[in-house]
């Protein structure tokens, strides 16, 4: 069964550094998302992406965050200058084009900012 | 903004006991989805409910969507240790899926 893949599984970075989290969504999916989950808390929406542009973003997704789909397969989340409070599990998800199709999540990247 | 709350936050049960989690949205939902997240894992889609008052079953799991389409519930009959995890409801608002606060289920053998 096709799956969403994320790399790396764990990223440790120093405060103020830039990080790029990578995702390969399921190949025939059209909608892409980033969510984050601080340890033990709920899954929070960051951004949705469709047709090569951001379709919606949350208050968390400020100008320190950006997303890109540089080619036909990768979907990346960049955090320009990480803060301690950015430490969380970041999940990429994708879904097919039909209305209300479910999200398929990757295994996540655990980001630790020190 | 839209909020989706779940109760209880935690539930510890003895294996064989039943379990229910309740989901309430601040706004009317077009549909509701349920996901399960095992400890250390990622959310995995369980089911989607679309119609007002809809009830769906998956083996020991029963899902309901409220008549006003603002609340939902998940009931597990005779829990097993494999049911351990956090159960999230999620409602769609425009293009984003808003996850509920989740209910963490612990099952003791």
For residue A2, the model assigns a pLDDT of 79
pLDDT digits (tens, 9 = 90+) for A51-81: 999 999 999 999 999 999 988 789 999 999 9
**Chain B touched by A43 (CB under 8 Å):** yes
Task: Using a CB–CB cutoff of 8 Å, tell me whether B14 touches chain A.
Answer: no
Q: Does the CB of B31 have a partner CB in chain A at under 8 Å? A: yes
pLDDT tens readout for residues A84-101: 999 999 999 999 987 789
The nearest CA of chain A is from the CA of B12 a distance in Å of: 16
Per-residue pLDDT reduced to its tens digit, A36-45: 999 989 999 9
Tokens of A6: 């994320």
Contact A45 B99 (CB under 8 A): yes
Nearest to A43 by CA among B57, B33, B29, B68: B33
Residue of B nearest to A59 (CA): B1
| Token pair listed for A61 | 């997704």
Query: How far is the CA of A31 from the CAs of A21, A50, A54, B3, in angstroms?
Result: 17, 5, 10, 22
């Amino acid at each position: 069964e096709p799956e969403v893949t994320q790399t790396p599984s764990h990223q440790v970075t120093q405060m103020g550094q830039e990080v790029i989290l990578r995702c390969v969504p399921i190949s025939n999916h059209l909608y892409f998302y980033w969510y984050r989950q601080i340890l033990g808390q709920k899954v929070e929406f960051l951004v949705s992406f469709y047709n090569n542009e951001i379709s919606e973003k949350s208050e968390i997704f400020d100008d320190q965050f950006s997303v890109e789909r540089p080619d036909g397969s990768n979907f990346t989340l960049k955090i320009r200058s990480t803060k301690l409070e950015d430490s969380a599990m970041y999940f990429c998800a994708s879904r097919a084009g039909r209305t209300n199709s479910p999200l398929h999540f990757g295994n996540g990247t655990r980001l630790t900012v020190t | 903004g839209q909020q989706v709350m779940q109760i209880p936050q935690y539930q510890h049960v003895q294996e064989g006991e039943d379990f229910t989690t309740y989901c309430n949205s601040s706004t009317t939902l077009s549909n509701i989805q349920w996901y399960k997240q095992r400890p250390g894992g990622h959310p995995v889609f369980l089911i989607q409910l679309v119609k007002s008052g809809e009830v769906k079953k998956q083996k020991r799991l029963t899902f309901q969507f409220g008549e006003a389409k603002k609340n939902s519930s998940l009931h597990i009959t005779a829990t097993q240790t494999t049911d351990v995890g956090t159960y999230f409801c999620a409602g769609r608002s425009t293009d984003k899926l808003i996850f509920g606060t989740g209910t963490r289920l612990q099952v003791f053998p």
